[in-house]
Structure 1
Amino acid sequence: MPEALEPPEIIDGFGGWYADFWLLSTERQVGFGVGPIPASAIDRHTQGWDYEDADMFEHCIREMDEVYLMKANSAGQSPAPPADAMSPREAFRAATAGRRGR
């Protein structure tokens, strides 16, 4: 994990998804800035999962990626989230309430 980023609190059962995020990060394109994790990489990673789990995984990876991209491209290219927006941690907890990762 890059030193400039603070590691998140990992909810029990979801440590694997955090590791998957960093694995999928190796698939991003880098040019004039850091690009998002390609959808094709997430699709390959979740191949064989049931729809609900794959959809939840993609949602969580996209939320983490949004925060990562804001930090990685902090030269002002990424807009700041609205003041009343949920934090990524709150969004993750809301999206995964009562579930355990795979």
Structure 2
Amino acid sequence: MERLEKKGREVPADYLNRPELEPEGAFYFDAFFRLSPSRRVGFSEGPIPFEAIDAFARRWRIWGSEFDRFERMIRALDSEHLTKRSAGKDDPQNLTSMKDAAGLRALLQSVGSKGG
């Protein structure tokens, strides 16, 4: 940011208005977005495979009850993602941008209310 200001360039508004998540929420979102490409795609988009979740958790040394919580959170985010995608694949209202702080909070609250 300082380098841009020194060069007389503006800091992008998206950077200044980026959503702020609690560290734990940010970790789950990061994990979800890293795991999403591992899903199988055929006639429709499938869920994130257990093997991918397990490998990610082992890499980050997430064990025992922490793994159970991690898997539940990834599955809840994935379920929400797949529900929105199947409701209207091309409908922008069914997508949540990473830049939409209110949308991300609402998604986390929705997942939390389902017992994630």
TM-score bracket, normalised by the shorter chain, equals 0.5 to 0.7
Aligned residues between the structures: 78
* Aligned equivalent of 2:75, options 59, 62, 65: 62
* Aligned equivalent of 1:36, options 47, 57, 67: 47
Shift of 1:31: 1.2
Q: CA RMSD in A?
A: 2.7
1:21 aligns with 2:41: no
State the TM-score, normalizing by the size of structure 2: 0.56
The one-letter amino acid of 2:67's match is A
Identity percentage of aligned residues: 31
Secondary structure in structure 1 of the residue aligned to 2:39: coil
Shift of 1:67: 0.7
Contact 1:28 1:36 in 2 (8 A): yes
1:51 aligns with 2:64: yes
Q: Deviations over 1:9-49 (max 9, x none)?
A: 84443201101101100100111111000000001011132
State the TM-score, normalizing by the size of structure 1: 0.63
CA distance in 1, matches of 2:20, 2:79: 17
- By relative contact order (CA 8 Å, sep 6+), the higher-ranking structure is 1
Name the larger-Rg structure.
2
CA spacing shift, 1:32–1:43, aligned 2, 3 Å: same
Shift of 1:92: 2.5
CA distance in 2, matches of 1:32, 1:46: 28
Shift of 1:94: 8.0
CA spacing shift, 1:65–1:11, aligned 2, 3 Å: same
Q: Aligned residue for 1:92?
A: 112
